[in-house]
Structure 1
Amino acid sequence: MSTDHNPPASGARVPWAEVHPLVREAVEGFLGGRVVEAVTQEGGFSPAAAVRLRTDGGRRAFVKAVGPEPNPDSVRIYRSELRNAAALPESVPAPKLLTAFELAGWVALVFEDVEAAHPAMPWRRDELDRVFTALKEMSAALTPSPIEARTIGEVMGDSFQGWRRLLGEDTAGLDPWALRHLPELAELESGWETAAAGDTLVHADLRADNLLLTPGRVYVVDWPWACLAAPWYDQVAMLPSVGMQGGPAPHELFDDPDPAVTAVVAAQTGYFVRNGRLPDPPGLPTLRAFQRAQGVVALEWLKRRTGWV
Structure 2
Amino acid sequence: MAKVPWLPAELALVQRSLVTLAERATPSPLPGLPVWGGELEEWHGWNRLLADADPLRDVDSWTSRNAVRLAEAEAGFPAATAGDTLLHSDLRSDNILLNGGQVTFVDWAWAARGQAWLDPMIFALCAAVQGHPDPEAVFAAHPSARAAEPAEVDSALAALAGRFVVAARQPVEWETAPVRAFQKAEAATAIAWLRVRTGWR
- Aligned mates of 1:282, 1:203 — CA distance in 2: 28
CA deviation string 1:168-224 (max 9, x = no partner): 134223211111111121111010111111100001111101111111311111111
Check the 8 A contact 1:144/1:200 in 2, yes or no. yes
Corresponding residue for 1:146? 29
2:70 to 164, 185, 188: 185
- What's the TM-score, normalizing by structure 1? 0.58
1:285: Cα distance to partner? 2.6
More contact order relative to length (CA 8 Å, sep ≥ 6): 2
Unaligned runs of 5+ in 2: 141-145
- Aligned mates of 1:235, 1:181 — CA distance in 2: 26
List aligned pairs for 1:168-207, cutoff 5 A. Answer: 168=52, 169-207=54-92
Check the 8 A contact 1:152/1:197 in 2, yes or no. yes
Q: Percent identity?
A: 38
CA deviation string 1:31-58 (max 9, x = no partner): xxxxxxxxxxxxxxxxxxxxxxxxxxxx
1:302 to 166, 189, 194: 194
Higher helix proportion = 2
Q: Secondary structure at the match of 2:177?
A: coil
Evaluate the alpha carbon distance shift between residue 188 and residue 281 of structure 1 in structure 2; reply closer, same or farther with a 3 A threshold: farther
Check the 8 A contact 2:5/2:132 in 1, yes or no. yes
- Aligned mates of 1:282, 1:165 — CA distance in 2: 28
Q: Secondary structure at the match of 1:288?
A: helix
Higher strand proportion = 1
1:293: Cα distance to partner? 1.2
Check the 8 A contact 2:13/2:101 in 1, yes or no. no
Check the 8 A contact 2:35/2:82 in 1, yes or no. yes
1:290 aligns with 2:182: yes
- Aligned mates of 1:182, 1:248 — CA distance in 2: 25
Corresponding residue for 1:254? 139
- Aligned mates of 2:172, 2:83 — CA distance in 1: 33
Corresponding residue for 1:235? 120
- Aligned mates of 1:124, 1:211 — CA distance in 2: 14
1:279: Cα distance to partner? 2.1
Aligned length: 191
CA deviation string 1:219-267 (max 9, x = no partner): 1111111111101110101222211212232122234462111111111
Evaluate the alpha carbon distance shift between residue 198 and residue 285 of structure 1 in structure 2; reply closer, same or farther with a 3 A threshold: same
- Aligned mates of 1:219, 1:183 — CA distance in 2: 40
C-alpha root-mean-square deviation of aligned residues, in Å? Answer: 1.7
Q: Which amino acid aligns with 2:127?
A: V
Corresponding residue for 1:219? 104
- Aligned mates of 1:120, 1:236 — CA distance in 2: 19
Corresponding residue for 1:157? 40
1:275 aligns with 2:167: yes
Check the 8 A contact 1:280/1:286 in 2, yes or no. no
Unaligned runs of 5+ in 1: 1-117
Q: Which amino acid aligns with 1:302?
A: L
- Aligned mates of 2:90, 2:173 — CA distance in 1: 18
